[in-house]
């Protein structure tokens, strides 16, 4: 009897349509503004139906996160296949990752739980310029003494800050195992590279 199959198919369609509606809402207004009632409205079903398909709101966002990683993995694989040697594979993947993030901002922000303070908010933080100034000072000094005094110090500040922030935020969400000294090594490695980059 194909009736149960039709029902099963319908159920799967519903499941998919919930995710589709959720995704559209996330793209439109960001994952912070996603709500169960908005999804219910979009799929033209009542609220509790959604809970027949997902345990809670977090489960929906988790599914979107997984979708994001699947797409990212797809892009990375493509980059790998396009490159001949491991070196250009690593290079290509970095660009692919970068492109993925900016072509799929909504995905990226869900995947990493990024709240993203808005531009207006950032500009209200006057302390940020003090922060930049503190770091820029020794960078400028080192650049002026180095081989390439025309290096852009802002670019270097950007690199420095990004590396630190990346290291920390990946760590904070990570499995947090006994990686204390491992991280110290990465950090040390990075600083050495950064400084030698300023000089040479």
Contact residues for DNA (CB under 7 A)?
Answer: 1, 3-4, 7, 11, 14, 34-38, 45-49, 51-52, 56-58
**Which CB, 32 or 137, lies closer to DNA?**
32
Least CB distance from residue 7 to DNA, whole Å?
5
| Binding at 112: pick from its own copies, DNA, none (beta carbon under 5-8 Å per type) | its own copies
| Binding at 136: pick from its own copies, DNA, none (beta carbon under 5-8 Å per type) | none
Using CB under 8 A as the binding rule, whether residue 158 contacts its own copies is answered as yes
Contact flags string 94-133 toward its own copies, x per CB under 8 A:
xx-xx--xx--x--xx--xxxxxx-x-xxxxxxxx-xx--
Cβ–Cβ under 8 Å, residues 183 and 167: yes
- In whole angstroms, what is the distance from residue 59 CA to residue 22 CA? 11
Measured in residues, the chain has a length of 200
Least CB distance from residue 5 to its own copies, whole Å?
28
User: Number of C-alpha atoms within 13 angstroms, CB side, residue 109?
Assistant: 18
Least CB distance from residue 49 to DNA, whole Å?
5
| Binding at 176: pick from DNA, its own copies, none (beta carbon under 5-8 Å per type) | its own copies
Phi, psi of 146 (to 5 degrees): -85, -170
| Binding at 104: pick from DNA, its own copies, none (beta carbon under 5-8 Å per type) | none
- In whole angstroms, what is the distance from residue 25 CA to residue 35 CA? 9
- In whole angstroms, what is the distance from residue 31 CA to residue 27 CA? 8
Size of site (CB under 8 A) for its own copies: 86
- In whole angstroms, what is the distance from residue 100 CA to residue 146 CA? 35
**CA 35 distance to own-chain centroid:** 21
């Amino acid at each position: 009897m194909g009736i149960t199959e039709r029902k099963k198919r319908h159920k799967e369609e519903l499941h998919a349509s919930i995710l589709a509606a959720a995704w559209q809402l996330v793209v439109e207004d960001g994952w912070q503004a996603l709500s169960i009632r908005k999804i219910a409205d979009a799929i033209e079903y009542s609220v509790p139906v959604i809970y027949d398909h997902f345990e809670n709101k977090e489960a929906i966002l988790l599914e979107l996160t997984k979708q994001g990683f699947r797409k990212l993995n797809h892009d990375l694989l493509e980059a790998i296949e396009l490159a001949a040697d491991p070196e250009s594979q690593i290079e290509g993947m970095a660009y692919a990752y970068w492109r993925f993030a900016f072509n799929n901002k909504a995905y990226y922000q869900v995947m990493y739980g990024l709240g993203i303070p808005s531009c207006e908010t950032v500009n209200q933080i006057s302390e940020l310029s003090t922060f930049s100034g503190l770091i820029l000072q020794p960078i400028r000094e080192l650049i002026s003494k180095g081989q390439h005094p025309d290096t852009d110090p802002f670019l270097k500040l950007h690199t420095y800050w990004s590396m630190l922030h990346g290291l920390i935020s990946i760590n904070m969400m990570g499995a947090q195992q006994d990686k204390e000294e491992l991280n110290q090594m990465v950090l040390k490695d990075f600083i050495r590279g950064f400084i030698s980059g300023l000089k040479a």
